[in-house]
Structure 1
Amino acid sequence: MPSNDLTLAFSLQALEKLTRPERAFDDAATWSSYIGIVSSESSFVERRRVREAGYQQDFLSGPRSIEEALSSIRSHFETDRYVFVGTDETDGIAETVPEWTFQSVTDAATAADWQLGTTPSTSDDWP
């Protein structure tokens, strides 16, 4: 049986592929030690989307690449496993960061009984 001593990072794009991303995020938080979001979006866009969705995360990626964010998260959070839930576009990223495992949002949704679909996209305009 897999350990729940897990750091779980969602890509913002993966969450947007779920019908009820806030429920999936809350559900994952019940079986993960640390959970958060990484994105290649600019910091203000990422933070605004997270704030609007009401995600209660332990970390955000900040103004850096997803690879850099995953490396930083790994050095700050000690757990048995590190899983990055992403999309086809982010498939190869976890392979470049030691100790991280990639899980497609489709496979994660199937395993966790989350519904795939589209969520209304927020505008990238500021504010």
Structure 2
Amino acid sequence: MQNNTKRTLEIKIQSEKQAMQASAARFLNAWNKSEYAGEYLTFTSPGMFFEVINARRWDLVIKLQTLGKTSIRELARQLGRDVRRVHDDIKILIDHGIVEQDAEGICVPFDEIHADFTLMAAAA
């Protein structure tokens, strides 16, 4: 990926089948065009989504986008939260690829994050 490429993350809630089909289509499109196609995080249920991205963690993401690369301790200070709890939340966000960490600190590497899902009544 080139340094001037704007990184984007799209978060979706889809069935496993929909996610696999979408992933295959994105792969083929990126392969054919040989260009960056964005990055995706897919959850198979609203419950799984909200287990990972709750209000506290979303606040961390927003604050990190504002601060840029920083330490967990400084992030906790900025948010007025306990360092250990922030560390636990950041670990989950790192595990899901929303936050990245290196020797210089933590950051949200995406210029843009888009969450997209539709809730529908269950079929009778």
| Alignment TM-score > 0.5, same fold | no
TM-score, normalised relative to structure 2: 0.33
